[in-house]
A and B are shown apart, each in its own frame.
Chain A
């Protein structure tokens, strides 16, 4: 599973973290557990160790295929959740941590499936660029924050408690506020610079590029509805959910449904 023992251990830690979290969620006092975030940290470190080990093997940042991207992405989500718990302390919203942990588990489950071969292979010429490493890694860091925002937005729509909604809405905005600039710089800016160096064209309207732009437009709309016009609430949450679903389609759907320059990604 997940390529090797380290990956399986990370997967196991996240599963245990999710179980601990759900047990605490079922408690009446709604207390925040003091344990699962260390499991998340452990999982993140194990996943990053896979990235580092493979990078040494191929002598290049190991985020050049679907398996490596999923491992890195899941690691960043786990790390973001650990930092969130560390900063929020007892104010942590347990459902958010649980929901995002499940996303990381799902990503690792896909990494262990046949759709993501885990062989260690050095990159083809088009991928041998440090712009690519920056492009991919920052895209996933941004998307890790969007994943947390996605869970917040679902919880927002499901919640009836006004104080809870206010906290969820604020956390959604904060996570998108952090993820948006990182995603913009990684996915769009560094992506364009890499494309120019590799293909002589900074923008080709390739399906993956276009879907990254569509995702960016949705989050741009979110920031404007939420912040500038104070249209906080239902529509902002819906845009946040749609935005994250679009990141998933950009990553998976485009690869398998739409042909283009990013066919190896």
Chain B
């Protein structure tokens, strides 16, 4: 037990682990992450592609190759921190609160990051003006308006989704402009402005004469196949607009159908086609963020304190 404690107390181990994590991270940035296996077989030799997938280098920061040294570093840092504090309490070490705070902050950071990894939730929605989403706690967020401002040279200046938040029929926030860098906070959920799109819409009429609205990216099943509404072609001229539907059987795309107003797709007749401007909003709940912020503040305080202590030490040396 004593040997294990001494092993994990070692600063040499810390340096080795830090450099191992650095070298592995370099490797990870050189290999494109989160791609399909086919990508790696297309990009690398078969042997290299198999190695990338087997070692988890395609999703490096969730792989054992990264998590094991990081876990060892966490244990190493914990033991070092406890050991420093214990030695200080026995008067066997110099008073150095700065590095202690940095180490404690890093431990809190790793714990907070783990919360984020396992408990963070996010959902992406595209909403037109007048549409709404329901957030946890029965809060409804309705898009009142969406503006896209551009500079004179055409570059984006601002995307602004003005929303209203209600709960149980009462206004909680009557009006709030969500912008990039200015998310809306409701309860424990933040809503971010992330994008906008021209969304294709089709009105489909079933054999009973009931109308169904469908947006680009949505689909329906018909005779065991999925018919996926991909978008519109010829949208510059309304009379030439056609809806593009992909037919999927299992995981295989088996056909592409291009249909005009009045034509049939599956069991439906296409009644109308249109496109509309929608705002892309991302709702995020991350219980790890607060511990991470606390950790960052502790680390920053530790760094400042270390700097002050070093300055005092240097002044003391100069006085002597």
Interface residues of chain A, those whose CB is within 8 Å of chain B, are 121-122, 124-126, 128-129, 131, 177-178, 180-181, 184-185, 189, 192-194, 196-203, 205, 207, 210-211, 213-214, 217-218, 220-221, 224-225, 228-229, 254, 258
Q: In the bound complex, do residue B113 and residue A217 qualify as a contact, i.e. CB atoms below 8 Å apart?
A: no
Q: In the bound complex, do residue A210 and residue B303 qualify as a contact, i.e. CB atoms below 8 Å apart?
A: no
Enumerate 21 A-B pairs (CB-CB under 8 Å) in ascending A order. A122-B157, A125-B158, A125-B179, A125-B180, A128-B181, A189-B299, A192-B296, A197-B181, A197-B183, A198-B180, A198-B181, A199-B194, A200-B194, A200-B286, A201-B284, A211-B29, A217-B19, A221-B15, A228-B11, A229-B11, A229-B15
Q: In the bound complex, do residue B155 and residue A193 qualify as a contact, i.e. CB atoms below 8 Å apart?
A: no
Residue numbers in A under 8 Å from B181 (CB-CB): 125-126, 128-129, 131, 194, 197-198
Q: In the bound complex, do residue B155 and residue A121 qualify as a contact, i.e. CB atoms below 8 Å apart?
A: yes
Given the known interface contacts A124-B156, A125-B180, A126-B180, the answer about A181 and B18 at a Cβ–Cβ threshold of 8 Å is no
Chain B interface, >50% SS class:
helix
Separation of A145 and B186 alpha carbons in the complex (Å) = 42
Q: In the bound complex, do residue A200 and residue B18 qualify as a contact, i.e. CB atoms below 8 Å apart?
A: no
Partner of A205, one of B22, B30, B33, B183: B33
Would you give the 0/1 interface string for B7-22, flagging 1 where the beta carbon is closer than 8 Å to chain A? Answer: 0000110110011011
Q: In the bound complex, do residue A185 and residue B157 qualify as a contact, i.e. CB atoms below 8 Å apart?
A: no
Q: In the bound complex, do residue A217 and residue B289 qualify as a contact, i.e. CB atoms below 8 Å apart?
A: no
Separation of A147 and B301 alpha carbons in the complex (Å) = 25
Partner of B192, one of A199, A207, A225, A228: A199
Partner of A193, one of B18, B116, B296, B306: B296
CB of A262, distance to nearest CB on chain B (Å)? 12
Given A121-B155, A258-B30, 7 more A-B residue pairs with CB atoms under 8 Å apart are: A125-B156, A181-B303, A189-B300, A193-B293, A201-B286, A205-B61, A218-B19
Q: In the bound complex, do residue B282 and residue A189 qualify as a contact, i.e. CB atoms below 8 Å apart?
A: no
Q: In the bound complex, do residue B307 and residue A214 qualify as a contact, i.e. CB atoms below 8 Å apart?
A: no
Would you give the 0/1 interface string for B157-185, flagging 1 where the beta carbon is closer than 8 Å to chain A? Answer: 11100000000000000000001111100
Residue of A nearest to B193 (CB): A125
CB of A169, distance to nearest CB on chain B (Å)? 15
Residue numbers in B under 8 Å from A211 (CB-CB): 29
CB of B36, distance to nearest CB on chain A (Å)? 17
Separation of A193 and B296 alpha carbons in the complex (Å) = 9
Q: In the bound complex, do residue A224 and residue B183 qualify as a contact, i.e. CB atoms below 8 Å apart?
A: no
Residue numbers in B under 8 Å from A124 (CB-CB): 155-157
Separation of A128 and B18 alpha carbons in the complex (Å) = 34
Interface residues of chain B, those whose CB is within 8 Å of chain A, are 11-12, 14-15, 18-19, 21-22, 25-26, 28-30, 33, 61, 113, 116, 122, 151, 153, 155-159, 179-183, 190, 192-194, 282, 284, 286, 289, 292-293, 296, 299-300, 303-304, 306-307, 310
Separation of A101 and B286 alpha carbons in the complex (Å) = 45
Residue of A nearest to B179 (CB): A125
Q: In the bound complex, do residue A224 and residue B18 qualify as a contact, i.e. CB atoms below 8 Å apart?
A: yes
Partner of A210, one of B25, B179, B194: B25
Q: In the bound complex, do residue B300 and residue A185 qualify as a contact, i.e. CB atoms below 8 Å apart?
A: yes
Residue numbers in B under 8 Å from A205 (CB-CB): 28, 33, 61
Residue numbers in A under 8 Å from B30 (CB-CB): 258
Q: In the bound complex, do residue B292 and residue A224 qualify as a contact, i.e. CB atoms below 8 Å apart?
A: no
CB of B94, distance to nearest CB on chain A (Å)? 12
Residue numbers in B under 8 Å from A217 (CB-CB): 18-19, 21-22, 25
Ranked 8 nearest A-B pairs via Cβ = A181-B303, A125-B180, A200-B284, A217-B22, A129-B181, A200-B192, A221-B18, A189-B296
Separation of A153 and B151 alpha carbons in the complex (Å) = 46
Residue numbers in A under 8 Å from B15 (CB-CB): 221, 224-225, 229
Q: In the bound complex, do residue A203 and residue B25 qualify as a contact, i.e. CB atoms below 8 Å apart?
A: no
Residue numbers in B under 8 Å from A192 (CB-CB): 292, 296
Residue numbers in A under 8 Å from B306 (CB-CB): 181
Q: In the bound complex, do residue B289 and residue A196 qualify as a contact, i.e. CB atoms below 8 Å apart?
A: yes
Q: In the bound complex, do residue A218 and residue B22 qualify as a contact, i.e. CB atoms below 8 Å apart?
A: yes
User: For B61, B181, B284, which residue has the most chain A Cβ atoms within 10 angstroms?
Assistant: B181
Q: In the bound complex, do residue B11 and residue A125 qualify as a contact, i.e. CB atoms below 8 Å apart?
A: no
Residue numbers in B under 8 Å from A203 (CB-CB): 113, 116
Q: In the bound complex, do residue B292 and residue A202 qualify as a contact, i.e. CB atoms below 8 Å apart?
A: yes
Q: In the bound complex, do residue B29 and residue A184 qualify as a contact, i.e. CB atoms below 8 Å apart?
A: no
Residue numbers in A under 8 Å from B289 (CB-CB): 196, 202
CB of A217, distance to nearest CB on chain B (Å)? 4
Q: In the bound complex, do residue B151 and residue A122 qualify as a contact, i.e. CB atoms below 8 Å apart?
A: yes
Q: In the bound complex, do residue A207 and residue B156 qualify as a contact, i.e. CB atoms below 8 Å apart?
A: no
Q: In the bound complex, do residue B29 and residue A258 qualify as a contact, i.e. CB atoms below 8 Å apart?
A: yes
Residue of A nearest to B310 (CB): A177
Separation of A181 and B310 alpha carbons in the complex (Å) = 12
Separation of A162 and B174 alpha carbons in the complex (Å) = 71
Residue numbers in B under 8 Å from A121 (CB-CB): 151, 153, 155
Residue numbers in A under 8 Å from B286 (CB-CB): 200-202
Residue numbers in A under 8 Å from B156 (CB-CB): 124-125
Residue numbers in B under 8 Å from A178 (CB-CB): 307
Q: In the bound complex, do residue B14 and residue A200 qualify as a contact, i.e. CB atoms below 8 Å apart?
A: no
Separation of A225 and B11 alpha carbons in the complex (Å) = 8
Given the known interface contacts A125-B180, A177-B307, A192-B296, the answer about A224 and B14 at a Cβ–Cβ threshold of 8 Å is yes
Separation of A194 and B183 alpha carbons in the complex (Å) = 12
CB of B69, distance to nearest CB on chain A (Å)? 11
